[in-house]
Structure 1
Amino acid sequence: MTRSPATSLPPPEERRRLREAASLTQDQLAARVGVTRKTVRAWESGRTTPRGGKREAYAELLASLGRPSAVTEPQTGARGGAASPGAERTGRSQPPPRAAERSDRTTAAPAQAPERTAGTAALAGTADRTGGAEPLAPAAERAAGTLAPPAERAAGPGTPAAGRAEESGLTPAQAFDALYGFCSPALVRQTYLLTGRRELARESVERAFQLAWHRWPEVARDRDPAGWVRAAAYEYALSPWHRFRPRYRHPEPPPAAPADRTLLATLLALPPSYRRTLLLHDGVGLGLPETAAETEASSRAAAHRLLHAREEVAACLPDLTDPAEIHRRLTALASAERLRAAEPRAVRSDGERRARLWTRAAIAFTVAIMSATALTLHTAPTRYVPPVPPGEAVRGVPPRSAPGPLSAKERSLRAKLESETANGPQRLVPESR
């Protein structure tokens, strides 16, 4: 008896994206499949996988949501009206409202950060460009065109720059330069808030983009290339090995303003995981699921880290009890520092030179090992030569003594023998023949 193959399902992130593109809440999707909201949340987070008839029903529903007609047709019911004209023209529905999105999450999750204004683009301008929970910026900022380079603005908001490279006819270098020009200014400021070091922030962003250029085919096909680079920059910046480098053993000069110094010191006093969660959620503006996924933690753990970090910040700065105020102060602190990133061409050339250096070093090391092995094989003996055993003492043979001066007793005995006659039986003298 053979078992029929299981129905294929999209990845957990794609399941949630399809639901949000159709403007459905988790409760509505659970009612259609016949399960609870907690079950749908577990399916979308990847903790569990549907089986049996529920799997087939869920896969059929997701397939219907993924069709163009299911996305472009006017949505009614939960949102109480048709989709916006802009969504019909672009072929994508508008994201669900913030309140509905927050209601689908766990009750222990803190409230989302408020909408960002034009003054906060310096910190969070790269966060939600490529698939975050919130839009890139308000409509006024997108219309002004001050956040994205020309290639980004021509392609339209909400789509990754690397993912549109093939559609727009850009070369890999041009697509990389567009992504770097859009993400690097805000990423340097974010990394500075994460580490408190200006040089380390610039170095972390450059290393992250060098790694992205080295793996550009993978990054170009990623759903969120900006998030990929941000995660790489954060991992490099928070590496504990920097404390052993001579250039990073001493702290850098703090900010000039006393309030900024206190805020930065409070941030640096937090554990790295708490600091990163607070920066992603309240500073960058990611949702709690996106923050948990980027920090490789569960939603509950990310919520506890965020609440603890807010408590620590509020204990040192009582005026920072509101997440909106924390976001504003973090943006002001990041904008106060004059942090500039290198040119994209220099980053690409440095990455290629570093890759060539490591390749040559690996080749030289391999050649050295092969040469040492060949020399050992050439000089090694071809047959076994037993070693010479150490000498052993022979019993019964007295040790050989060297002649030395006679003692007084021996001299008197010699004189007595010489003075006595040689004739007589008392003395036997051998005769010569």
Structure 2
Amino acid sequence: MSRSTADSASSVTLPTPKERRRLREALALSEEQVAEAMGVTKATVRAWETGRSAPRGRKREAYAKLLGTHEPGDAPSSPDSPAASPPAASPASEQPAEPRSLPPSPVRPQAPAKAQTPAPAPAANVRPKAAAKRAAKPPKAPSPSPGIAAGPARKGTPRPQERLKPVEAPPVAEQRPVGPPAVPGLTPEEAFDALYAHAAPGLVHQTYLLTGRRRLSRESVEHAFHRAWERWPEVARDADPVGWVRATAYEYALSPWHRLRRTHKHPDAPPTEAGRRALLTALLELPAPYRRTVLLYEGLGLDLPETAAETEASTPAAAHRLLHARTVLAKRVPELADPDTLHERLGSLVTEAPTTTLPAARAVRSGSERRTRTWTRAVLGVTAVLIGVTGFTAATAPTRYIPVNAPGETVNGVPVRGGPQKLRPEDLELRDKLRSEPNPGPERLIPAAE
């Protein structure tokens, strides 16, 4: 492969990780089918859809063709020609002021099975047999999860049945990150401070709804922003930096190891208001993955594929978690049996103004840098100690084997040697007499008087 071909393949624009997953599900393709077509493993495809990695080279171009987002004019033919670049994402403001509610995806009109999914052209590193088999086989329409599509669609958030139908993929140039427009000319510190001021208060309140512990929620958000500042170049380039911080805070808050800490062993006292207390108590009775799913979908208004991607679960698994959570909440609080009522109650609970006082953004940044320096010094110190011990051992170790001659010692407790005992003088005298005066006859020996 020439250098110009490699540069053109690496400059192909890919959609965001969440959009990659939505496009795959819209094409009715499973992770196994994509992995077989691309010649990679299922774990690699999952890493591409979660944003942990991205394809490179010819695989990047083949992956874009497979998703239907690559056009022949997207990649330049030579290194000198300008490459198409994705829309710039704001490093500081990627979260709307209100709970995010995506517009309903356009639903494809009913058409023959052959016209629904255009067969992608086979590219390099793609198995031709699998590509031909996939192109000749009409895709299966994804079956919506049972029960989730019941009831009218709520405002601003499409029902999962609509979201799981095949949709037309928008051009890459029209995909814009959700959130306010980017503010040019910000330094990394200013961008981080703006992100912290915009998202930290709401995240503290959300983690409190997940855990029921105010102190743990504040600690989780601080930990998430510490990690964000440590990896700020990665977070700044992310299409949804608030989602990155939110996922990190949720993972830390829902860690089971906090039960071993005395300060976080029991939840705080429930609120005094009866409605909020009943809803929060019922929410805390759910398992952690179900609690997180219902909060993201019903509280924040995320789409079902986005909820599944953030919880690192498949879309059907997230749908069934949501169904189970709705059933449990309806049993605990009967007025929440209607999904629209549950969405309204959780949405109003999420948008409440938090009462926790947070440290300043500068203190969070300095704390992250101080922790990084501490861990770096600790690692360097341990490494220096290991090098010193290894060097001392190598310098003082003998160069040849020296056998050890142990001195003799008295051994006690050895049992008496077996066999006949040592003869006494009387025994020796009798033996000599019998040998010297044999009596071959049958007479009986009579003791003679001395």
Question: 1:382 & 1:18 partners in 2: Cα distance?
Answer: 62
The DSSP-based 3-state class of the residue aligned with 2:402 is coil
Cα 1:372/1:61, change in 2 over 3 Å: closer
Aligned length: 305
Question: 2:203 & 2:221 partners in 1: Cα distance?
Answer: 7
Task: Specify the alignment match of 2:34 in structure 1.
Answer: 48
1:390-409 matched pairs, under 5 angstroms: 390-391=407-408
Question: 1:184 & 1:10 partners in 2: Cα distance?
Answer: 32
Q: Mind listing any 5+ residue stretches in structure 2 that lack a counterpart?
A: 39-61, 76-101, 111-140, 158-162, 164-175, 412-450
Q: Deviations over 1:177-205 (max 9, x none)?
A: 11111111111111111111111111111
The residue type paired with residue 298 of structure 1 is S
Aligned-residue Cα RMSD (Å) equals 4.1
Cα 1:358/1:47, change in 2 over 3 Å: farther
1:2-151 matched pairs, under 5 angstroms: 11=14, 13=16, 16=19, 40-42=27-29, 48=34, 62-63=70-71, 97=104, 100=107, 106-108=143-145, 110-111=148-149, 114-115=154-155
The DSSP-based 3-state class of the residue aligned with 1:248 is coil
TM-score (norm 1): 0.60
Identity score, percent = 49
1:276 pairs with 2:292 = yes
Q: 1:360 aligns with which of 344, 355, 377?
A: 377
Question: 2:106 & 2:330 partners in 1: Cα distance?
Answer: 25
Question: 2:317 & 2:250 partners in 1: Cα distance?
Answer: 19
CA contact (8 A) 1:113 1:282 kept: no
The DSSP-based 3-state class of the residue aligned with 2:71 is helix
Cα 1:366/1:250, change in 2 over 3 Å: same
The residue type paired with residue 355 of structure 2 is R
- In the TM superposition, residue 358 of structure 1 has moved relative to its aligned partner by 0.7
Q: 2:182 aligns with which of 164, 172, 184?
A: 164
Cα 1:387/1:342, change in 2 over 3 Å: same
Task: Specify the alignment match of 2:189 in structure 1.
Answer: 173
CA contact (8 A) 1:18 1:62 kept: no
The DSSP-based 3-state class of the residue aligned with 1:219 is helix
Question: 1:257 & 1:288 partners in 2: Cα distance?
Answer: 31
- In the TM superposition, residue 17 of structure 1 has moved relative to its aligned partner by 7.9
The residue type paired with residue 226 of structure 1 is V
- In the TM superposition, residue 308 of structure 1 has moved relative to its aligned partner by 0.2
CA contact (8 A) 1:277 1:302 kept: yes
Question: 1:339 & 1:293 partners in 2: Cα distance?
Answer: 29
The residue type paired with residue 298 of structure 2 is D
The residue type paired with residue 353 of structure 1 is R
CA contact (8 A) 2:18 2:305 kept: no
1:215 pairs with 2:223 = no
CA contact (8 A) 1:15 1:62 kept: no
Q: Mind listing any 5+ residue stretches in structure 1 that lack a counterpart?
A: 20-25, 27-36, 68-94, 118-132, 134-156, 395-433
CA contact (8 A) 1:188 1:340 kept: no
Question: 1:203 & 1:55 partners in 2: Cα distance?
Answer: 40
CA contact (8 A) 1:291 1:302 kept: yes
1:166-315 matched pairs, under 5 angstroms: 168-315=184-331
Q: Deviations over 1:325-345 (max 9, x none)?
A: 223323444527523332211
TM-score (norm 2): 0.58
Question: 1:38 & 1:244 partners in 2: Cα distance?
Answer: 40
- In the TM superposition, residue 375 of structure 1 has moved relative to its aligned partner by 2.9
- In the TM superposition, residue 12 of structure 1 has moved relative to its aligned partner by 6.3
CA contact (8 A) 2:298 2:347 kept: no
CA contact (8 A) 2:210 2:291 kept: yes
The DSSP-based 3-state class of the residue aligned with 2:403 is coil
Question: 1:51 & 1:249 partners in 2: Cα distance?
Answer: 48
- In the TM superposition, residue 63 of structure 1 has moved relative to its aligned partner by 2.6
Question: 1:207 & 1:215 partners in 2: Cα distance?
Answer: 12
- In the TM superposition, residue 169 of structure 1 has moved relative to its aligned partner by 0.8
- In the TM superposition, residue 250 of structure 1 has moved relative to its aligned partner by 3.2
Cα 1:97/1:332, change in 2 over 3 Å: closer
Cα 1:57/1:192, change in 2 over 3 Å: closer
Question: 1:191 & 1:275 partners in 2: Cα distance?
Answer: 11
Question: 2:260 & 2:317 partners in 1: Cα distance?
Answer: 30
